[in-house]
Amino acid sequence: MRTSIVKQKLAKKEPVVGVALHLTDPSVYELTSLIGVDFIWMDLEHHGYSVETAGNLMRAARVGTADIMARPAKGEFMRMARLLEAGAHGILYPRCDNADEAREVVRWSKFAPLGTRGFDGGNADMPYCTMGMVEYIEKANAETWNVIQIEDPKALEHADEIASVEGVDVLMLGPADFSILSGIPGQFQHPKIDEALAVLKKAADRHGKAWGTTGGSPARVQELINRGALWTTLGCDLIWVKNGLEQTKRDLAALTVPK
């Protein structure tokens, strides 16, 4: 099983920065992993591709060094386990409401005695029955990481208890849904967002966990790191392509035809 860059850095209290990939061409995963980002965010909550497709994308990413963080939908614990078997190091669990739900995430993502994850061994994470069972179980428990996403303002009341759960590595504020549910859609610099981040920071610091949220720009990422966040993201492929195409449109519109 591959050693997790994210776990190594978090253990040393170093910030980790990932990127989100929406396109499902394996070459995008290959290139991104070769570039040297800490992790690639793969989203199966809002996108319709299968675990089989996810496994092929993870396989492409293994040519480089990035961890894969996969997000299933809320309550999809069996899919979460399959994503780990396909080679994901990290699970991003969305819309977590309380500590009991966070414990379920740990239960499904960790082998006993930390959880009750089911054993197979014939997939990419072991990989393919090439390790002894005891060695694999110990390594999987050590290298797998869990990010608990808080997106409902009501869940903030449980942030401290969620952070106390063994096996939770990161508390993440989901700014989009949090802003919508708070009545401030899209206002990511709103005081309510800052207040929520302060709550997560306090809970995470108390229990020795990392915290963070998405960063839409290098300046925002630097701001979060300066505030003590050890986990964040910087951009996604869809936006990069969109921005490039919009610039091409402007360039084309500026062309002139000689008279």
Residue 1 has pLDDT above 90, yes or no: no
Strands (E), 81-169: 90-93, 145-150
Q: What are phi and psi of 70, to 5 degrees?
A: -105, 135
pLDDT in tens, 191-202: 999 999 999 999
pTM reported for the whole predicted model: 0.95
What does the alpha-carbon distance between residue 76 and residue 87 come to, in Å, rounded to a whole number? 17
Query: Are the CB atoms for 105 and 96 separated by under 8 Å?
Result: yes
- Cross-strand partners of 173: 150, 213
Each residue of 81-93: pLDDT tens digit? 999 999 999 999 9
pLDDT digits (tens, 9 = 90+) for 44-53: 999 999 999 9
Structural domains in the chain, CATH included, are 5-253 (3.20.20.60)
